[in-house]
Amino acid sequence: MKTFEKAILAAILALAGGCSKNNGVGGAASDAAQATIKANQEMAQSLKLDDQQDFEDAKHGFIARPEGKILAEDGSVLVDFDEYKFEQGPAPATVNPSLWRHAVLNAQIGLFKVTDGIYQLRGFDIANMTLIEGKSGWIVVDPLTCKETSAAAIAFARKNLGDKPVSAVIFTHSHADHFGGVLGILPAKEAAERHVPIVAPSGFLEEATSENVMVGTAMARRSMYQFGKNLERSPKGLVDTGLGKEVGYGNIGILEPTQLISKETEEATIDGVRFVFHNVPGAEAPAEMSFSIPDMKAYDGAENMVQTMHNLLPIRGAKVRDSLRWSEYMQQAIAQTGDADVFFAQHTWPIWGHARIVDFMTKQRDVYKYMHDQTVRLINQGYTPREIADMVKLPKSLASSFAIRGYYGDVRHNVKAIYQFYLGAYDGNPANLNPLPPQESAKRYLELMGGADKAVAAAQKAYDDGDYRWAAELLNHVVLGQPDHKGAKELLARTYDQMGYMAESATWRNSYLTAATELRNGPPTKGVNKATLFEVLAHTPTERFLEAMAASLNGPDAEGKDLKVNLVLSDTNESFVLWIENAVLHFKKAAPATDANATLTVTKGILLKMLTGTAGVKDTLMSDDMKVGGSKIDLVRFFSLIDKAPGTFAIVTK
């Protein structure tokens, strides 16, 4: 039996993924080319980069700056508070000067007083942790991404503000960087024993636990590009993410809300503080809310309003966001502010003064509405996404505002998202209904161009002329069509260097530079560690995992197979019947089927450890909590049909 259990474990562990080999060309990042330097100089001359208002706001209320590092459980560095100290003075040639300005602003790290009774911790993670002084302790708004960064942040706050307990937690929305660190400020046992209020928008738990299950592996892999996870922190590497310095890739947890905000506008008193919550779902996040604190004349815009244009479709991938609804929420927010004297958000820095707040919100409203309306106008004139991306330019009245420039989102990417929102990715041209796969298409283009060397020579001329978009398009064909052409890889890496150095959007810069790094060194050998999600996955309904398992079934291999398996989770008293029919994996919640080929009885905890790749011999083979009934051979056959998702797949070389 032990041999079969080993086979079962191996089959299930395949779901957790594996590693890939490096196959790059080596070498260091290139210097800024003359065309890049010229483009960045022109950008600097087009904007009032010396405007000091944002710098005054970003430093306003400064109390103290942390020192040292935040470490993960294995001793690796999650956050180094000194690694962005190079962000001083004029922009280097390798960074877009507008992005450099934004990066310097986000590098104002530490504890800040927003107004009487409200404080923020910035730079401990990509998001801000906001502390509101309640009657008996701290009301914590959005406890960062992971346990390690949130624990460091609350400890630093207590050191400087006094040792008060957490009296309530508010989750503004369902993205992990705003709830994942909750166990670092409030252990689950303590939350239950003290009956600490956990406040969140309606639908929060479902959205928070489901977003990354179905296509989480691909999202996590692509997030490495968006956030520049593996880039060096330097003028040639990661300088910012647009929303903050970087993501804390530590242990992510969650607490189930005790109080849901379900009405469009809802008032609640939490630890003696009067809040007016405003539900704003379906824009920046599926479940989200902003709020005002009338007695403090303060308004929190959550993540719907921050000091940058946001993404309508993140580079990492997600469901397309509704720009029209987003702009409508901004219009509502202008009225909701009342007589607020301070605006703050869960990223970037606050704004003081009611007139300035209204101006900020007005421009936030109009940038999403302008992109929406102009994209729709051009759609109805028959233009395609790529054409519209080159046609839509913000009017000067909007483009001159730093608060809505594309440091995180980007006009070109956002208008494509709007097109996709209404019409899908297909542009209407039948040639794009059934195009050849990229590698096959690339081979034929190379043959037409007279071979890889001629294509590289043409790309070199485009590079020398500063025509990087064309150089990248040519070289992409060579790298896909003739993967062993090292000259093409190196020139494409240098091309991506230059495109990254010129990018105003941090996410575009990070993507270009990550692509360059992987062309030189190959894809990463490790993906994002799924074990860090264990606490969140424990709150995820089992059905979500079974849906993801069904979506991982190898259809061609499953053709003609007729297998039925009972899955019994002994600790949650759940029982599911899983069966393959017409090469499709189905499941239903039901008592074990008497005609099943096999029955696997296991605790949900062990199942999650298997799925996250953290199960060991003690957890499985030596555990009484894992039992197999029926045909062990059929059980192994069943799980062997589930494809693994390594999370380290190649992106720029496949």
For residue 220, the one-letter residue type is A
Q: What pLDDT score was predicted for residue 18? A: 45
Cβ atoms of 495 and 475 closer than 8 Å: yes
308-333: average pLDDT: 96
Beta strands (DSSP E) in 570-623 are 574-581, 584-589, 598-602
Long-range CB pairs of 482-488, under 8 A, 24+ apart, other chains included: 482/443, 482/446, 482/452, 483/653, 485/452, 485/456, 486/25, 487/456, 488/452, 488/455, 488/456, 488/459
Q: What is the percent of the chain where pLDDT is above 90?
A: 86
20 pLDDT higher than 90: no
Q: What pLDDT score was predicted for residue 2? A: 54
Is the model more confident about 572 or about 624? 572
Q: What pLDDT score was predicted for residue 607? A: 85
Q: What angle do CA 536, 540, 541 make, to 5 degrees?
A: 170
What angle in degrees, to the nearest 10, is found between the helix axes of 468-481 and 452-464?
Answer: 160
CA dist 630 and 209 (Å) reads 33
CA dist 409 and 600 (Å) reads 46
Beta bridge partners of 278: 265, 290
19 pLDDT higher than 50: no
Beta strands (DSSP E) in 263-400 are 265-270, 273-279, 289-293, 298-300, 342-344, 351-352
389 pLDDT higher than 90: yes
Q: What pLDDT score was predicted for residue 21? A: 46
What angle in degrees, to the nearest 10, is found between the helix axes of 411-423 and 354-379?
Answer: 60
Least confident of 68-77, 121-130, 375-384, 535-544: 535-544
Q: What pLDDT score was predicted for residue 647? A: 85
Cβ atoms of 501 and 93 closer than 8 Å: yes
Least confident of 23-32, 125-134, 385-394: 23-32
Q: Is the CA virtual torsion 476, 477, 478, 484 positive or negative?
A: positive
Mean pLDDT of the chain: 93
pLDDT tens, 616-652?
Answer: 555 565 567 789 999 999 999 999 999 887 888 999 9
Instruction: Answer left, alpha or beta for residue 285, where phi above 0 means left and psi between -120 and 50 means alpha.
Output: beta
Specify the DSSP element, H or E, that contains 10: helix 2-13
Nearest to 104 by CA among 55, 62, 47: 55
pLDDT tens, 241-275?
Answer: 999 999 999 999 999 999 999 999 999 999 999 99
Task: Classify 226 as helix, strand or coil.
Answer: helix
Cβ atoms of 198 and 256 closer than 8 Å: yes
pLDDT tens, 25-46?
Answer: 778 999 999 999 999 999 999 9
CA distances from 625 to 350, 418, 606, 620, 635 (A): 52, 50, 8, 8, 17
Q: Is the CA virtual torsion 83, 87, 91, 95 positive or negative?
A: positive
CA dist 539 and 200 (Å) reads 15
8 pLDDT higher than 70: no
5 pLDDT higher than 80: no
**380 exposure class (CB count in 10 Å sphere: 0-12, 13-18, 19+):** exposed
405-422: average pLDDT: 98
Place of tokens 């010396």: 50
Q: What pLDDT score was predicted for residue 326? A: 98
Task: Classify 261 as helix, strand or coil.
Answer: strand
277-306: average pLDDT: 97
Place of tokens 């956050």: 79
Q: What pLDDT score was predicted for residue 11? A: 55
Counted residue by residue, the chain has a size of 654
CA dist 310 and 317 (Å) reads 14
Q: What pLDDT score was predicted for residue 618? A: 56
17 pLDDT higher than 60: no
Q: What is the percent of the chain where pLDDT is above 70?
A: 94
What 8-state DSSP symbol labels residue 288?
B
CA dist 121 and 184 (Å) reads 14
**Tokens standing for residue 198:** 């956990």
